[in-house]
Amino acid sequence: MTTSLDQQPVGQAIDGGEVTAPMTGRVRFLAAARRQPTDVTPVWFMRQAGRCLPEYRALRAKYDFLTVAKTPELAAEATLMPVTRFGVDGAVLFADIMLPLEGMGVPFRIEPNVGPVIDHPIRTAADVAALRVIAAEEATPYVLDALRLLRRELGERAALLGFSGAPFTLACYLVEGRSSREYPQTKALMYGAPDVWHQLMETLTEVVIRYLRAQVAAGAEAVQLFDSWLGLLGPPAYEAYVLPYSRRIFAALRDAAPTIHFSTGTVALLEQIASAGSDLVSVDWRLPLDEAWARIGPGQGIQGNLDSSLVLAPWEAVETGAKDVLRRAGGRRGHIFNLGHGILPQTPADTLTRLVEFVHGTSGSAARAG
């Protein structure tokens, strides 16, 4: 069933004032993404549509991963599961960072408990030159169809988030061919054949910009760039080999939708990451949230940053950790509550439901005043 957007009461964020009227999840999320006041702190979880949910495991017992991701009705079903169960304010499209690679001429598969595998990795100038850049509508029509379907089905419950892998993280899979701890071949290519590297990054940047802009046109209301393996780089390498491309991506989305820049293990790169120009910076638990925000500066919002493993602990520990995150955020505009990285598959779903209730229940201005 679809609900008309204007049938439901929506708390209005008044610039400069406290918000006391309740907001819908969608309005709350988008207000925080634009650093406007919210009634309470919005929450979502990375990898929320996944194996911690019994209903997702039941869906996966019937269809393999790529069938779910490439069938708009199934992808929409998986996307909505955590919205219904956890009451999160953001619905992240069920998809994978690898999907656009197929349209570039790079076949891959997802192996259970291994992750993405590419049988013929990209390692030479000729491999890079052979990569194709085609329209996102042609490469990943199912992603865009799923977004169109979801925007109608979500109504005011939650904002719809699109995402893409960042060029560096995609390059890690393209060059290495599979998940790795150190991505040594990728870094060897980067340092040893910079011309090939830059050509690869140019191509990926173009694909990512087209992909994210097409997602926004199809209904994504905010987008996250996943640079999951950025923590492998030190500041000079980040500056020389990655940052210019991230800057180009965020600049290309500035007029389209709010952007979130995700990475993990990047305490050493925080100011540089912020300078890439996203609206929000996603930080993990390795730095307290207030310290991270002080380093990023007041001009950008922040997403995070509860330890993804803390939600495996008994509730009392989770509550203490969540309170600490909220205290450090201090009710400032532009905080979106999340874990520092994705939900681990063994996470008890009930803890996450309770965590969303707790964040919503304790972060409002009334709760802060009391």
The binding site for ligand CP3 (CB under 6 A) comprises: 46-51, 60, 65, 92, 94-97, 110, 112-113, 115-116, 163, 179, 226, 228, 342
Give the Cα separation of 291 and 293 in Å (integer). 5
Nearer to ligand CP3, 65 or 315 (CB): 65
Quote the least distance from Cβ 49 to ligand CP3, whole Å: 4
Asked if residue 229 lies in contact with residue 170, where contact means CB atoms within 8 angstroms, the answer is no
Give the Cα separation of 279 and 290 in Å (integer). 17
The residue assigned the tokens 């063994």 is: 346
Asked if residue 231 lies in contact with residue 242, where contact means CB atoms within 8 angstroms, the answer is no
Asked if residue 42 lies in contact with residue 91, where contact means CB atoms within 8 angstroms, the answer is no
Q: Which of 348, 365, 356 is nearest to 313 (CA)?
A: 348
Does 51 participate in catalysis according to the annotation? yes
Nearer to ligand CP3, 39 or 307 (CB): 307
Asked if residue 351 lies in contact with residue 315, where contact means CB atoms within 8 angstroms, the answer is yes
Does 354 participate in catalysis according to the annotation? no
Which residue is nearest to ligand CP3, using beta carbons?
228
* Three-point CA angle 204, 259, 174, nearest 5°: 25
Give the Cα separation of 40 and 54 in Å (integer). 29
Q: Which of 140, 40, 33, 29 is nearest to 83 (CA)?
A: 29
* Distances in whole angstroms, Cα of residue 1 to Cα of each of 7, 26, 92, 153: 14, 17, 20, 7
Quote the least distance from Cβ 303 to ligand CP3, whole Å: 13
* Three-point CA angle 66, 46, 60, nearest 5°: 30
Give the Cα separation of 35 and 322 in Å (integer). 21
Catalytic residue among 56, 173, 183, 211: 173
Quote the least distance from Cβ 32 to ligand CP3, whole Å: 18
Instruction: Give all strands (DSSP E) within the chain, no chain letters.
Output: 90-92, 109-111, 115-117, 159-165, 222-226, 259-262, 280-282, 301-306, 335-339
Nearer to ligand CP3, 65 or 142 (CB): 65
Does 60 participate in catalysis according to the annotation? yes
Quote the least distance from Cβ 23 to ligand CP3, whole Å: 23
Nearer to ligand CP3, 48 or 300 (CB): 48
Quote the least distance from Cβ 162 to ligand CP3, whole Å: 10
* Three-point CA angle 326, 231, 211, nearest 5°: 85
Quote the least distance from Cβ 305 to ligand CP3, whole Å: 14
Catalytic residue among 39, 89, 96, 284: 96
Q: Which of 272, 289, 284, 276 is nearest to 341 (CA)?
A: 284
Nearer to ligand CP3, 112 or 236 (CB): 112
Nearer to ligand CP3, 111 or 350 (CB): 111
Quote the least distance from Cβ 280 to ligand CP3, whole Å: 16
Nearer to ligand CP3, 98 or 128 (CB): 98
β-bridge pairing 109-111 and 115-117: antiparallel
Which residues are annotated as catalytic?
Answer: 47, 51, 60, 96, 173
